Structure 1
Amino acid sequence: MSEILVRDSVKSKYAENNHQATVSFRTDSRVKEEAKKLFSSMGMDLSTAINVFLRQSVVDQAMPFLITRESRESIEARRQAESHEGKSFNNTDELMQDLLDA
């Protein structure tokens, strides 16, 4: 079962604020229906999911996910490099030998 963790700072900051605002936007009807099914499987309605997104954005002062034009392969390669996964070489000769052996 999926679980959503709401940071205490978000919960405490907004728990006492009972001011409600209505937000209206347009989206593709198929996207809406697929999103409703997805969030329903997580125990949320669409309104709750959008509120989670908005609150997390405010806490992070950013989108709560990475927006990129990079390919999945590039993202994975960067992740591996940053976490020091994979092979490392002391010089280009070692690198070239490894490439030739592959």
Structure 2
Amino acid sequence: MATKSANVYARIEPDVKEQAEGILAALGIPASNAINMFYKQIILQRGLPFEVKMPSARPVDVSALSEAQMNAELEKGYADMQAGRTRSAKSVFADLRKDYNL
């Protein structure tokens, strides 16, 4: 096993650090081991080990819509349904949980 003697310094948001370290602690994984695993995955994948991209569309904040805008959004949804562009609720909720860490 290689000697661990290199250091990595990074500035991150305190709440992100706290939340991540809480999860790692529950898993019994020290932060340094998690970072080492992350780096090894970067090497194995020859890039980031997860997809990094902007979402294709942002969710609509219905609380900020006027009545006309809300009606337009409902019409779009109805048109999608009529055209067969639908998904099961189970699939949609699974994606929401994944995308928003719920």
- TM, length-normalised to structure 2: 0.52
The percent identity for this pair of structures is 27
1:33 has 2:30 as partner:
no
CA deviations 1:2-53 (Å, max 9, x no partner) are xxxxxxxxxxxxx3x2252011111111111101001112220111111110
Name which structure has the greater RCO, CA cutoff 8 Å, separation 6+.
Answer: 1
Correspondences of 1:1-102 after superposition (within 5 Å): 15=1, 17-71=2-56, 99=83
Q: Which amino acid aligns with 2:39?
A: L
RMSD between aligned residues: 2.7
Secondary structure, in 3 states, of the residue corresponding to 1:64?
coil
CA pair 55-72 structure 1, distance change in 2 beyond 3 A: farther
Q: Could you tell me which runs of 5 or more consecutive residues in structure 2 were left unpaired when the two chains were aligned.
A: 59-81, 87-102
Q: Which amino acid aligns with 1:34?
A: Q
Q: Could you tell me which runs of 5 or more consecutive residues in structure 1 were left unpaired when the two chains were aligned.
A: 1-14, 74-97
